[in-house]
Protein backbone atom coordinates (compact mmCIF):
# COMPACT_ATOMS: atom_id res chain seq x y z
CA UNK A 1 0.00 0.00 0.00
CA UNK A 2 1.60 3.25 -1.20
CA UNK A 3 -0.17 5.41 1.34
CA UNK A 4 -1.16 8.98 0.47
CA UNK A 5 0.95 10.47 -2.30
CA UNK A 6 1.19 14.09 -3.42
CA UNK A 7 2.76 15.79 -6.39
CA UNK A 8 4.78 17.80 -6.99
CA UNK A 9 6.93 17.91 -3.85
CA UNK A 10 8.06 21.48 -4.43
CA UNK A 11 6.82 24.27 -6.64
CA UNK A 12 7.86 27.87 -7.31
CA UNK A 13 5.38 30.29 -8.87
CA UNK A 14 5.08 34.04 -9.27
CA UNK A 15 2.28 36.28 -8.07
CA UNK A 16 -0.83 36.13 -10.21
CA UNK A 17 -0.12 32.67 -11.60
CA UNK A 18 -2.28 29.60 -11.09
CA UNK A 19 -1.19 26.28 -9.57
CA UNK A 20 -2.59 22.74 -9.42
CA UNK A 21 -1.57 20.29 -6.72
CA UNK A 22 -2.42 16.59 -6.85
CA UNK A 23 -3.22 13.94 -4.28
CA UNK A 24 -3.78 10.19 -4.48
CA UNK A 25 -5.50 8.76 -1.40
CA UNK A 26 -4.62 5.64 0.51
CA UNK A 27 -6.05 2.52 -1.12
CA UNK A 28 -9.70 2.01 -0.14
CA UNK A 29 -10.25 5.58 1.06
CA UNK A 30 -13.01 7.68 -0.47
CA UNK A 31 -12.59 11.08 1.22
CA UNK A 32 -9.86 13.63 0.64
CA UNK A 33 -9.22 16.73 2.73
CA UNK A 34 -6.77 19.53 1.99
CA UNK A 35 -4.89 21.59 4.56
CA UNK A 36 -2.56 24.58 4.37
CA UNK A 37 0.29 24.89 6.82
CA UNK A 38 2.01 28.24 7.10
CA UNK A 39 5.27 28.55 9.01
CA UNK A 40 4.85 28.32 12.77
CA UNK A 41 1.18 27.36 12.62
CA UNK A 42 -0.81 24.16 12.69
CA UNK A 43 -2.40 22.97 9.44
CA UNK A 44 -5.59 24.84 8.48
CA UNK A 45 -8.52 23.09 6.79
CA UNK A 46 -9.20 24.22 3.23
CA UNK A 47 -11.93 21.80 2.08
CA UNK A 48 -13.00 18.19 1.92
CA UNK A 49 -14.17 16.13 -1.06
CA UNK A 50 -16.41 13.10 -0.97
CA UNK A 51 -18.25 11.48 -3.89
CA UNK A 52 -16.69 14.08 -6.20
CA UNK A 53 -18.39 16.91 -4.32
CA UNK A 54 -17.03 19.54 -1.96
CA UNK A 55 -18.62 18.50 1.32
CA UNK A 56 -17.18 21.09 3.66
CA UNK A 57 -15.10 24.22 3.29
CA UNK A 58 -12.85 26.17 5.63
CA UNK A 59 -12.27 29.90 5.71
CA UNK A 60 -10.47 30.21 2.37
CA UNK A 61 -11.36 32.48 -0.56
CA UNK A 62 -12.86 31.27 -3.83
CA UNK A 63 -9.41 31.42 -5.40
CA UNK A 64 -8.98 28.00 -3.79
CA UNK A 65 -10.93 25.32 -5.61
CA UNK A 66 -10.72 21.60 -5.95
CA UNK A 67 -11.87 18.53 -7.67
CA UNK A 68 -12.24 14.85 -6.89
CA UNK A 69 -12.11 12.23 -9.63
CA UNK A 70 -14.02 8.92 -9.84
CA UNK A 71 -10.89 7.08 -8.62
CA UNK A 72 -11.01 9.32 -5.48
CA UNK A 73 -7.82 11.22 -6.33
CA UNK A 74 -8.06 14.95 -5.93
CA UNK A 75 -6.66 18.25 -7.14
CA UNK A 76 -6.30 21.57 -5.38
CA UNK A 77 -6.24 24.64 -7.62
CA UNK A 78 -5.21 28.10 -6.51
CA UNK A 79 -5.78 31.05 -8.85
CA UNK A 80 -4.25 34.52 -8.78
CA UNK A 81 -1.49 33.48 -6.40
CA UNK A 82 -0.50 35.85 -3.62
CA UNK A 83 2.73 35.92 -1.66
CA UNK A 84 0.72 34.78 1.37
CA UNK A 85 -0.20 31.54 -0.39
CA UNK A 86 3.36 30.33 0.18
CA UNK A 87 2.93 27.34 2.46
CA UNK A 88 3.02 23.56 2.76
CA UNK A 89 -0.15 22.02 1.34
CA UNK A 90 -1.14 18.72 2.88
CA UNK A 91 -3.62 16.17 1.63
CA UNK A 92 -5.29 13.67 3.95
CA UNK A 93 -7.45 10.69 3.10
CA UNK A 94 -9.99 8.78 5.16
CA UNK A 95 -13.15 6.71 5.00
CA UNK A 96 -16.29 8.84 5.02
CA UNK A 97 -18.47 6.23 6.63
CA UNK A 98 -16.75 6.58 9.97
CA UNK A 99 -16.79 10.38 10.05
CA UNK A 100 -14.74 12.41 12.44
CA UNK A 101 -13.64 9.46 14.52
CA UNK A 102 -11.76 7.99 11.59
CA UNK A 103 -8.00 8.36 11.32
CA UNK A 104 -6.93 10.69 8.53
CA UNK A 105 -3.74 9.67 6.76
CA UNK A 106 -1.55 12.47 5.50
CA UNK A 107 0.72 12.75 2.51
CA UNK A 108 4.15 14.38 2.68
CA UNK A 109 2.84 17.67 1.32
CA UNK A 110 3.65 20.05 -1.52
CA UNK A 111 5.81 23.04 -0.63
CA UNK A 112 4.64 26.07 -2.64
CA UNK A 113 6.72 29.22 -2.84
CA UNK A 114 5.17 32.30 -4.44
CA UNK A 115 7.63 34.99 -5.51
Partner 1 sequence: ILNVEQSPQSLHVQEGDSTNFTCSFPSSNFYALHWYRWETAKSPEALFVMTLNGDEKKKGRISATLNTKEGYSYLYIKGSQPEDSATYLCAFVGGTSYGKLTFGQGTILTVHP
Which residues of the chain form contacts with partner 1 (CB under 8 A)? 3-4, 31, 33, 35, 40-45, 48, 50, 55-56, 58, 90, 92, 94, 96, 99-109
CA–CA separation, 83 and 104 (whole Å) = 29
Residue closer to partner 1 (CB basis): 4 or 78: 4
Measured from the CB of residue 62, what is the shortest distance to partner 1 in angstroms? 18
Residue closer to partner 1 (CB basis): 81 or 90: 90
Dihedral in degrees, nearest 10, Cα atoms 43, 45, 46, 49: 120
Cα 97-102-107 angle, rounded to 5 deg? 110
Measured from the CB of residue 107, what is the shortest distance to partner 1 in angstroms? 6
Residue 62, Ramachandran bin (φ over 0: left; ψ between -120 and 50: alpha; else beta): alpha
Residue closer to partner 1 (CB basis): 28 or 40: 40
Amino acid sequence: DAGVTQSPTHLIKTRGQQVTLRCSPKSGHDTVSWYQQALGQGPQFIFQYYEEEERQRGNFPDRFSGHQFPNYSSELNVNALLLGDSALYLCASSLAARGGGETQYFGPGTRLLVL
